């Protein structure tokens, strides 16, 4: 993968196909579709958690349409009633997807899907899960993060205009940016604003539980889940403490 391509709208060639970064004009559709590659397979219900990733997407209800949407965006397939995506079957099972991209053709299989998944994630700033992570620890961290936050009225229009204001960019221009560029600018704004407020707080004698959340305006803080324990372990400790009383 070419590092300089991160700052451009250039496609990467994969298995005969051209894979493009998704643009902000398709952001809402992208957000609804990208979960088909960002979900940890260990969270899939049995027996899908034991299959190859693409085979699980073929088998799980509702997953294949999301994948088709994501492929439409990443491969910039033409709009129309039907997409040029043709399933290869064996009996009643889908085994592969043949993609026709203009004059180009390419086949997606369970064996090569991992490479395509990594490429799409890389081009669009997505973080793929580490399947070796403990599922309970990850869920505990998400629960704690959600409990600490206040509910916000999310709006794509507000998000774009807020980033445009801080980045001194035209909102219409932002819609032609790639998703990766937009998210990188958004994170840079968050870091800069967070670092400024954290510096003011520390200068006034304030302290942060768990340390400064924004120690740098250039880089994110390295996160760790070591302080988070599995829910089952927490339940066991609480049960034990109750029994001792």
Q: Is the pLDDT of residue 236 over 90?
A: no
User: What does pTM read for this prediction?
Assistant: 0.78
**Strands laid side by side in the 93-101 sheet:** 85-90, 93-101, 104-109
* Average pLDDT score over residue span 77-104: 92
Which ranges of the chain does DSSP label H, i.e. alpha helix? 27-33, 35-38, 53-59, 63-74, 113-123, 135-148, 156-167, 171-174, 179-203, 231-244
The reported pLDDT for the residue numbered 84 is 96
Closest CA to 35 of 11, 65, 12: 65
Cα first-last separation, the chain = 59
**Which one has a higher pLDDT value, 181 or 136?**
181
Neighbours of 46 (CB within 10 A): 7
pLDDT at 125 over 70: yes
222 within 8 A of 199, measured Cβ to Cβ: no
- Please determine, for residue 91, whether its predicted confidence score (pLDDT) is greater than 90: no
Contact by Cβ (8 Å): 164, 24: no
Poorest-pLDDT segment among 13-17, 18-22, 198-202 = 198-202
At 27, list the tokens: 């952001």
106 φ/ψ angles, rounded to the nearest 5 degrees: -155, 150
Strand pairing category for 104-109 and 93-101: antiparallel
Indicate the average pLDDT of the chain.
Answer: 84
Cα gap 154→85, rounded to integer Å: 33
Q: What six digits make up the tokens of 19?
A: 């894979």
């Amino acid at each position: 993968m070419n590092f300089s391509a991160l700052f451009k709208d250039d496609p990467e060639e994969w298995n005969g196909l051209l894979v493009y970064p998704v643009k902000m004009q398709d952001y809402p559709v992208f957000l609804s579709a990208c979960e088909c590659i960002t979900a940890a397979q260990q969270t899939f219900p049995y027996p899908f958690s034991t299959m190859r990733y693409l085979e699980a997407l073929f088998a799980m209800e509702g997953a294949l349409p999301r994948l088709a949407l994501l492929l439409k965006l990443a491969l910039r397939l033409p709009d129309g009633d039907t997409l040029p995506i043709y399933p290869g079957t064996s009996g009643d099972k889908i085994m592969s997807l043949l993609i026709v991209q203009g004059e180009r053709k390419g086949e997606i299989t369970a064996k090569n899907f991992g490479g395509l998944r990594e490429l799409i994630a890389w081009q669009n700033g997505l973080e793929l899960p580490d399947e070796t992570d403990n599922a309970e620890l990850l869920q505990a961290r998400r629960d704690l993060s959600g409990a600490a936050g206040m509910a916000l009225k999310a709006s794509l229009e507000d998000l774009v205009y807020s980033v445009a204001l801080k980045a001194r960019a035209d909102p219409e221009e932002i819609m032609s940016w790639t998703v990766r560029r937009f998210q990188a600018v958004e994170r840079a704004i968050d870091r800069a604003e967070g670092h400024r407020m954290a510096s003011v707080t520390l200068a006034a004698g304030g302290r942060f539980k768990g340390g400064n959340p924004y120690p740098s305006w250039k880089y994110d803080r390295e996160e760790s889940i070591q302080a988070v324990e599995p829910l089952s372990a927490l339940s066991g400790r609480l049960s034990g403490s109750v029994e001792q009383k």
